[in-house]
Structure 1
Amino acid sequence: MGSVTLLIIAAATAVSSAQLPQGFSLTQVAEADNARQMAWGSKGTLFVGSRKAGKVHALQDQDGDGVYETRHTVAQGLYLPSGIAFRDDTLYVAAVNRILAFPEVETRLVAPKMEVVYDGLPSDAHHGWKFIRFAPDGRLIVPVGAPCNICNPALPYASILALDLDKGRYEVLAKGVRNSVGFDFHPDSGELYFSDNGRDMMGDDLPPDEINRLVTAGSHFGYPFLHGAKVADPKFKASAGQMAGFEKPLWQLQAHVAPLGIHFYRGEAFPPEYRGALLIAEHGSWNRSSKVGYQVSALMPQADGSWQYRVIIGPWLDGEQPLARPVAFLEHPDGSLLISDDYNGAVYKLTYNGMPTQTADNENNE
């Protein structure tokens, strides 16, 4: 039995075993080797980045059945091309130290033209793969992870940058960010929200992973001195004044769940309580005695301005065996939600079927 066949079977198992809120369904709509970030082309092409595969995929639904069965490899042999974004008929790809552009890519999917539009980023593979997105002001938001588990590197490491591709320069939006592989802009305020993966080797339950909100450009979020709201690093010390100046997380997740993509739901196909919900792809743990994560969760906005944490799908675990590892989200034009899974090389579609939902409250954040 070949590896492709095994992946197809595994993706089917992930779909059939998914624990969903009442009224929702999950289907597989595409295969894409090591599927990571996704983006829509202007002509309806579904582009999918990868990490280990080194490929950028282009998928098309040519018969209108909702399945993207026509596949092209836009590029291959790239350096961890996890992050992609589409703007003005051009596909942009983050390949660690370079930002690549494929202009008019949908007219030449077989042999597209490739341009290097920026090559001034660090080339470290450790936390070097990226999630990218264009900001409302036209700049490309690019995180640069710390090249280590725990260290105190100079900028631009451990930061989130706003890159002006036309001028070839960047602004540091956030400092002290260990490894962000997902972010989104709030639909109303425009503020940047981002995930951050906490350090390893501090035990099963420390430190918490984070969801953060950027209010002021240049803010410092604590790494490597402070993890979560109050976990001081045992190696890197900061003064009380420095510690007080670090931004605290909007929300603390369980240690090692590895939040990657996050997405504010903007559609109208889900029940009203999901409007403005911040969806989180918890990719799943490796540095833990028993696995956690491997699920899709959400921060649900409350009338008083607070958030409620809720598990939407999962966990995708059979004992200690992962069944899927969610990475990123992309809203479908019909209001449903696409979810990439690099473990099975698949893209799933979460759809609401119009039945009443019944969901139990989860524990409040501590």
Structure 2
Amino acid sequence: MSNNTPPDSLPEPGATKSVTNFSNVIGWKNGAKPTAPPGFVVTKFADGLKNPRWIYVAPNGDIFVSESHAIKRFTQEVINAVSGKANSENNNITANRITMFRDTNNDGVPDEKHVFLENLNQPMGMLILNDFFYVANTDGLMQYPYKTGMTEMTSAGKKILELPAGGYNNHWARNIIRNEAGTKIFISVGSGTNAGEHGIEVEKNRAGILEVNPDGSGMRVYASGLRNPVGMDWAPDTHTLWTVVNERDQLGDELVPDYFTSVKDGAFYGWPYSYFGQHEDPGFKGKAPELVKSAVVPDFALIAHTASLGLVFYRDTVFPEKYRNGAFIGQHGSWNRTFLSGYKVIYVPFRDGKPAGKAEDFLTGFIADEGKSEVHGRPVGVTVAKDGALLVADDASNTIWRVSVK
């Protein structure tokens, strides 16, 4: 099968051994950079950052980048998941800041760079709504007064909603997006464990998408059973929310496929009891038959263990026609697969509100030497700038890449 094509039928759990295969990041040297399809050019928009994770474009075109990183893999974060506390060491490991860039002459190179907000707690998602700047920290939703064009946040802001902090592996990241009317904010929260191994009681308000009013009130679970939903966007010409989800590890090379799916209000997507509909997890066989029966089958399967995180629909008209209204997905890359998967940005064509073809490679070249598990970088957040260019956060090489039409 191609590296973009998941299996037509799922293998049995344990059909292949669960492996640990972490990549070694060597960076981009001697002018090396990712590769885009013919007709596009890739340039370095910004570098010298500290783990740029997510990118948000303000209505006036200012570009905000959240710089944050995982604390400790598999150990401290699981403890945090159970205790509901954030790691007190994070100031020593992650930048905990938001940097703002401004391109005043529209040449694709920022003319201004400002530290917009500091002393956060593993921030990721950002949003401007109703004269407020929102930040999704790992442990809560923050709200700050905002005026268009400001280059530094001087207010201390306030936490308007508590969120469960940390999580298994890298499930500390919280993303936010508004609804079309601007009356609700959706928050993605990953699971606290891989597959419920510490008990379902530690998963309260996790593994799903939450809905809240802009003042932090009225929180409810919008959709559940989504192991680690991160990127969210509204499909063009529809009123449907879509997300990309990282599925569980340790069941083999091809289990469980990550996926790209529409999100139905009140729906349950299986985790941890089942995956891809009614495929029961080995650790929960026969324990929740009614829930398993209700599990929604995702719309579009991706390769297992790709860590598909970034998501943006391309609504602009600058890219060629084939890319319009389709979805770009940033794949951070595998650690639990014999051969590396992900480590690229893929494109999924869309028509009539649904995927309309196989996933295609769009931005590649991140893998330097697969035999040695060496990679130049790891793409995460993807977004579209005001000029129609695609911006890609490469958090492992501390770079923001810009993909534009020649």
Choose which of 257, 263, 279 in structure 2 pairs with 1:214. 263
* Residue 351 of structure 1, CA deviation: 0.9
Give the counterpart of 2:395 among 326, 339, 342.
342
Counterparts of 2:116 and 2:106 in 1: how far apart (Å)? 22
Q: Which residue of 2 aligns with 1:175?
A: 224
Whether 2:306 is the aligned partner of 1:253: answer no
Deviation at 1:183, TM superposition (A): 0.9
TM-score normalised by the chain length of structure 1? 0.86
Q: Does residue 24 of the first structure (1) align with residue 40 of the second (2)?
A: yes
**1:188 — aligned with what?**
237
1:101 aligns with 2:143: yes
Q: Is the 8 A contact 2:167 2:191 kept in 1?
A: no
How far 1:107 moved relative to its partner? Answer: 5.5
Structure 2 partner of 1:132: 176
> Taking structure 1 as reference, are residues 125 and 50 closer, same or farther at Cα in structure 2, changes over 3 Å only?
farther
Contact 1:293 1:315 in 2 (8 A): no
User: Any idea what SS the aligned residue of 2:402 has?
Assistant: strand
Look up the match of 1:364: none
What is the Cα deviation at residue 226 of structure 1? 1.5
1:268 aligns with: 317
In structure 2, distance between residues paired with 1:96 and 1:180: 14
- In the TM superposition, residue 303 of structure 1 has moved relative to its aligned partner by 7.7
Q: Which residue in the other structure is 2:192 paired with?
A: 147
Rate the CA distance shift 1:240–1:111 in 2: closer, same or farther, 3 A. Answer: closer
What whole-Å deviation, never above 9, does each CA across 1:174-216 have from its counterpart, x for those lacking one?
110111111111111110110110111112221111111123x
Q: Please show how residues 187-336 of structure 1 align to structure 2 within 5 Å.
A: 187-215=236-264, 217-229=265-277, 231-238=279-286, 241-301=290-350, 306-319=356-369, 320-336=373-389
Q: What amino acid is the match of 1:61?
A: D
Q: How many percent identity over aligned positions?
A: 28
- Measured in 2, the distance between the counterparts of 1:250 and 1:211 equals 6
Q: What per-residue deviation string (whole Å, max 9, x for no partner) do you get for residues 285-324 of structure 1?
A: 1122331110000111258963321111115101121112
Aligned 8 A contact 1:105 1:113 in 2: no
Is the partner of 1:195 in helix, strand or coil? strand
Q: Is the 8 A contact 2:366 2:376 kept in 1?
A: yes
AA partner of residue 324 (structure 1): G
Pair 1:111–1:268, CA change in 2 (3 A): closer
Aligned 8 A contact 1:100 1:114 in 2 = no
Deviation at 1:166, TM superposition (A): 2.5
Contact 1:28 1:346 in 2 (8 A): yes
User: Cα distance 1:240–1:307, how it changes in 2: closer, same or farther (>3 A)?
Assistant: farther
Cα deviation per residue 1:248-296 (whole Å; 9 max; x = unaligned)? 1111111110100111110101111111111110110112233111000
Output the amino acid matched with 1:344. S
Amino acid of the structure 2 residue aligned with 1:179:
N
Q: Does the Cα contact within 8 Å between 1:324 and 1:341 map onto a contact in 2?
A: yes
Q: Following superposition of structure 1 onto structure 2, how do residues 150-161 of structure 1 map, counting pairs within 5 Å? A: 150-151=195-196, 152-153=200-201, 154-161=203-210
The answer on whether the counterparts of 2:144 and 2:158 sit within 8 Å (CA) in structure 1 is no
In 1: Cα distance, 2:34 partner to 2:216 partner: 46
C-alpha root-mean-square deviation of aligned residues, in Å?
A: 2.4
State the one-letter code of the partner of 1:318.
A
Q: Distance in 2 between matches of 1:178 and 1:234?
A: 16
Counting matched residue pairs gives: 344
Decide whether the 8 Å contact of 2:35 with 2:42 is kept in 1. no
Secondary structure at the counterpart of residue 192 of structure 2: coil
- Give the equivalent residue in structure 1 for 2:133: 91
Select the structure with the greater relative contact order (CA < 8 A; seq sep ≥ 6).
2
The residue matched to 2:304 in structure 1 has which SS?
coil
Aligned to 1:362: none
* Aligned-partner Cα distance in 2 for 1:195–1:294: 15
Over residues 209-249 of structure 1, what are the superposed CA-to-partner deviations in whole Å (9 max), with x where a residue is unaligned? 1111123x110000001223454211012555533321111
Tell me the SS of whatever aligns to 2:32: helix
CA distance in 2, matches of 1:122, 1:172: 13
Separation in structure 1 between the aligned mates of residue 216 and residue 123 of structure 2, nearest angstrom: 23
Provide closer, same or farther for how the CA distance between residues 74 and 17 of structure 1 changes in structure 2, counting only shifts above 3 A: closer
Partner of 1:359: none
- Under a length normalisation based on structure 2, what TM-score does the superposition of the two structures give? 0.78
Letter in 1 for 2:339: S
Q: In 2, are the aligned partners of 1:36 and 1:83 still within 8 Å (CA)?
A: no
Query: How many angstroms does 1:20 deviate by?
Result: 1.8
What is the aligned counterpart of 2:124 among 76, 82, 90?
82
2:162 is the counterpart of 1:120: yes
- Give the distance between the partners of 1:60 and 1:77, measured in 2 at CA: 22
C-alpha displacement of 1:104: 2.4
- Report which stretch shifted further, 337-346 or 154-163: 154-163
The residue identity in structure 2 corresponding to 1:40 is V
